[in-house]
Structure 1
Amino acid sequence: MKHVIWTALALACATVSTTAVAGDAHGTTADEARALAETGATGDFARSLQAQEKRLQAERSYYPAMFRAAYARYPRIPAGALEALAYSQSRWHQLRPDRNGEPTHGDMPRAWGVMGLYAGDGFADQVGEAAALLGTTPEQVKHSPSTNILAAAVLLDRELRGSARDDEALAQALQRYAGFGESPGATVGAVDAYARESFAFDVLLGMDRGVNDNGIRVPERAVQWERAFPADTLARLNAPLVRLDLDRDTVETEAFAIDPRSEQLVTRQAAGNAVAGNGIADAGSVQSLATVDFPGARWVTSPNYSSRGGTAVREVAIHTMQGSYAGSISWFQKASAGVSAHYLIRSSDGQVTQMVRESQKAWHVRSHNPHSIGIEHEGYISNPDWYTTAMYNASAAITRQSCARYAGIVCTRAMKTYTSADLSDSSYDILGHQNLTDNSHTDPGKYWNWSKYYGLINPGSGGTTKIVDSFESSVGHFVTSPAYSGSTTGISTASTAARNCSIRHGGSCSLQVRLVDNTSSSASWAVRLLSGSGNPGSNTALSRNGRVGFWVFVAGSGMSVAVGIDDSDGTERSTSKAVPANKWTYVEWKLSDAAQWNAWAGNSNGAITASTVKLDAIWFLHANTSYTVNAYVDDVQLRN
C-alpha cells in the first residue's frame, strides 16, 4: 500500500513540473467559464490555469500525512508550524529546480522540495545539514517529499532551543533556521536581520491567518505578535495586531501607536529618528515615505546599482523571483550577487520593499537596465497560487504610478495575453522578463494573468459591473477568519470563513461565514469580516461613482449587514441593512451618497470623498445569541 501511495505522489509531482501544461482537453463548464472570465482569465490561459490548479490539489492531498509523521518524530515543533513553513517556501509544491528549465534567477540560490530547503550556492546548505542529521543522502532530501519534510523538521527542532514553546521562541528559531544571511555564529548585518525577520513573520502570518484553499491546509491559531517581535520590528513588518486588547496593550507607547483602521502598530516618532544607520527605514514615518519612490514601501539598500547616464525611463519589467521575498531581500543586498531590482513584492499581503531608487539603474534585465523599472514578485513560475490579489494590486499600483511619472511609459501599451506572438514582441512599455531579446528567462511565466493586470493598470469606467470576489476558485480578498479583527465583538475564534460549493447565488461557490457565539461575552455581534486583511494596499480600487454591493444568504433571522470603505481621510461605515432569512438578497450602497455613510475610524467624516476607494470589510450585525449562524456571501461587486 505504501508503495502505491509514493508512486502516485511521484506521478503527481512530475505532473506539476514547470514544463508546458496542456489545456483541459474536456473544456470547461458554463459555470467554470463564467468564473474564469470574472478573474480576467479566458481561452487557453484559463484552461491551462485550471488544469494546473487541479494537478496542484492532487499533489497536496499527500502532504498532511507526511506532516503528521514529522510532528510525531519531533513533538517539540508547535502544531501548524511545518504546514505554514511549507506554505511560505513553496505553497505546498515540490520544488525541483533541476527540472524546471528556468535559468538561475540572478544566480539566486535554488530551493528544493516542498519545504524549500537551500543547498548552498551562497545560502546555507540546509539539504546537506539535514541529510547528515537524518542519516540519509542529500539527493533523498531534495527529491523525496517525505524526507524533505523530515529534513525541515529536524532543522527546526534543532533551533527550538530550551523548553519554551511560545511565539517568541518560535520566531527566534525561525530566524536562525532561515538559511540565508551570515554563517552561524557570525555577526548578522541589519539587512540580513531584516530578511530573517521577514521570513519568520511570513511563516507566523500563515499560522495566524490559517489557510484553507486549493488543497492547502494550515490550521489557524492566534499568534501573540507582541511577544514574537519587538515593537519597532512589528511596525516595520506590517505585523497584524488584530487580537490585542487596545485598552490594556503594553506595546503602544510614546513611540508607537495602533492604527484603528489597519489595527497594525505604526511609528509616531519624529522624522529625524525615522532611519537608523543600517539602510532600513521604518514604515509609517515621514522620512520613510520621503526615502522611497513608492509611498508605503519599505526601504532596504542594495549595493547593486549604477547611473542611468541620462537615459529616460520608458519600460516596466515584470519578474518572478523564483524564490521567497525574504530570501530575495537577503540576496539582492549582497554585492557578490550582482543583481537587484527596484521593487520586491510579498505574496501574502502585497508588502513592497524598494532596494534601488528609480533614478538609478537596477541590474535586472541586461541591456534594458538603463531605461527600465524592475518589479520582482515572490514565488515560482510553476505555481499560480503565488500570484495573489494583494500582489497584483500592489504591483499594479507601482506600474500606474510609473505611467503617471514617466512620459515614455503608457499603461495602455502593456501586455494583455500570453501568446507566442506576445512573447516575441518587446515593443510593449509594460512587459515580462521573458519578452526581452537578450534574456533567456521565462518569468513571470504562463500563469501570470496579463489580462487581469492590464485591467488593474487601466481601470475601466461607465456602465459596467466589476466583480471583486466571486469565490469560484478561492476566498479572494477574504483570507482571514470572522474573529480575526480586533473590532469584532460577540463571536468566538471558532467562527470560520471558507469557500462553499453547496450553496451559492451564481456560479458554483460562495463564501460561507460561520458565526459562533463567544459564551464568555454578552456583547452583541459586530463582525468585521476583513477584505485584504484590513490593508488598503491589498484591496482593489473602486470608483466613487459606483455602488458597492453583494449577494447574501443568512440561515437565521435578525441579521443586518453593512460595509466599511477606506476613504482618503479614514474608514467610513455604511448604514446597515436588515436581510431576511433563508433567501438570497442583494444589498448595495451608493458610494457618492453621504446619507448612506457614517464616520467610523481615522479622520473619517461620514462621506466618501476620494475619487477611488477600497473595500475595508463586510460587517455582520446581530443581537447576542447562543446559536451558531451561517451566512453566505457571493459576487462582491461594484456597479457603475
Structure 2
Amino acid sequence: MAAATLLFPLLGAAPSDARGSDHGLQSAFTSAAARYHVPPSVLLGVSYLQSRWDTHAGAPSVTGGYGPMHLTDARTALAESASHHGDGSEDARGDGARAALHPKVKPPKTSEIPARLRTLPKAAELTGLSRARLRMDPAANVAGGAALLAAAQKELGAPMSSDPADWYGAVARFSGADDTATAAAYANDVYAVLRTGQERRTDAGQLVALAAQPGLSPDTGQLRRAGLRTPEAGETECPPTVSCEWIPAPHEEFGDGDYGNHDLGDRPAAQDIDYIVIHDTEGAWEGVLTMVQDPTYVSWQYTLRSTDGHIAQHVKAKDVAWHAGNWYINSKSIGLEHEGFLARPDAWYTEAMYRSSARLVAYLAKEHDIPLDRQHILGHDTVPGPTASTVRGMHTDPGPYWDWRHYFELLGRPIEPSAGPNGGLVTIRPDYATNRPEYTGCVSAGQACADHGSSAVRLYSGPGESYPLIKDVGLGSEPTKGVNDLASRVSTGQQYAVAGQDGDWTAIWYLGQKAWFRNPQQSPTAVHASGDVVTPKDGLESVPVYGRAYPESAAYPADVPAQAVSALPYTLPAGQRYAVGGQVPGEYYYAVDFDEGSHRVVVGKDLYYEIQFGHRVAFVRAADVNVMASGS
C-alpha cells in the first residue's frame, strides 16, 4: 500500500500527458524508471520489443496483452478455438487426386492460464493500481512494466543498478518464457535494440526516442540463476538466433486406410522449395499446438508465439505440409503460422514475434535460395485457388493488418524505389500507420471495423473513389469493403505494371482490368520499380491464367494419373503487362498414399511464369507470352 501511495501522485497527470503532448509517453518512461530504479533505456527497450511503444488505444493484443509494456491479462485468450484450417470451404491439402480434406475443429482442452499471460494482475499487485487503469492508461501501464522488471531483478538477487548491462536476467524473465532459450532470445533482442537505438512516433502521435548504446555488453550469465528449464531443440531446423522446439506433427494412418497430416518428401533434392507462406492461426498457442498434433487435422512447418516469439517446428522442410489450399504451392513451400486473428484490427502482433519470424524466414530463404520478395514470401491470402471451383473458398489471412513494410525491413529487404518514373512498375508501399482504408465485417457483416493502420490499398475502376470498386470475376459477387474481400485490394510489397496516371491516381493492370489507386506525389502509396513483365504473344487476343504450374499430360508415367491443366476464370488480354516472379517448370508431386515408396515427382517440358495477376499470384504458360523489360 505504501508503494501504491507513492505511485499515485507520480501518475496523476499522466493519462492526458501521455496522449496529448509530444513527449508525454517519453516522460512516463523516465518517471517510472526513476520510481522503480530501472535504467530508463532498459524500460524503453523492453517496451519497444513488446509494442514498439504503441498503446493501441487500450485494445488487447492477440494474447490479451495491453499497452506499451504488453501487460497480459488473457483470461479469455485460451478459450478461442483454433479454427483457421477447419473453417470455410478451402481444402488445405488442395490436391484433386485425393478427396478434399475438411478437418473438424476440436476445441482445445482448457488448462490453467500460463504465467506469461497473467503479468497484468501481477503488476496490479506490485503497484496497487487497478487492472482497468493498467489496461487503459499508458503511463500506468509503463509503471506496471517497471515494477515487474524491478521485481524480477530482486528475485534474481541482482543489484538495482543504473547500468543496463546488469539487467539481462530481469529482461529475460520479463519475456514470460519458461525456458532458457526463449528467454535468452528475447533478452538478446532487447539488447540489440539498446545497442542500435530507436526513434519513432507512436500510434497515439507520441515521439519516443531511445539513444544508441553501441558498446553495451550485458551480463548474460545472470540467466543461469533464472530457474528456467532447458528445452530440447530436437530435430528443429532453425537459426541459432531464435528459440525453437520440436513438437512433431504425426504422419500416421487411421480409419479406412486414410492418413495424415502431411506427406513425407525429399526436398530440396526431389523438388525445389520456392515459397514461404505466412499464415495467422485464428487461435491461441495452446489450442493450435493441440490441432497440429492431431493426425486427422492438417499441418504446417512452424508455429510462432506472439508473447515472446518462441517457435515450434512440426514438419521437416523436406516433407510436404498441408496448409496453403493449393497442392502445387504446398509441395514447393514452407508454412509458418503466427498466433493471431485476421479480423481483429487491434489484436496486434508483438515486435518479438515479428522479429523472430523475420529471422526464421531469412534463414530459410538463404537455406533454400528463396528470393525475399512478395512473389515468394506469400501471404496465405496471395496463394491462388488451384482450379476455378476453388477460387471462392481460398483463405484470406494474414489479412490487411499484417505489417508487411515493417516485416521486410526486419528481413533486411526494405521496400525501396528501384527505378525512376519511367520504370514501368510500381511497388505498393503505403505508410502503415496513416494508411487507414475502411473495412467492414470484423465483428458482424456490414459493420465498420475499428479504424486502424493497414498494409493494403483499395482499387477502383476509375481515378476516384466515386468509381465502383474493381470486381474479381472469379469470386462471382459484387466487391465490398469486407475485411475478407480481396477483390479490389493490393498489398504492400506487391508489384504491378503501370497502366496510366491521372493526377493523384495511378492505374495498374490487375485481373485483366485497368485498376486505379490513390497515389499522391506528396504522400505516395507506391514507389517506382522496374523488372520483367509478360504480355500475350503477337496475334493472341488473350491467354489463359492458371493457379498451379502442372506438367502436360504426356509427362506423366503410366502409374501416375495425369492432372488436368485447368485454367482459372481469368484471362490475360493483349496489350496488358504483369510483373514476373520467375520461371518454373511444370511439376506435380504425386503423393496420395501413406507409403512414400509410391510417391513420384513428375516434371514436364512446359514452362510457366509466375506473375502478380491480382491480389493473388498466378501462372501463365511461357509458350503463350513474351517477356520484356517493364520500361520498354
Report TM bin, short chain: 0.3 to 0.5
- Structure having the higher helix fraction is 1
User: What's the TM-score once normalised by structure 2's chain length?
Assistant: 0.40
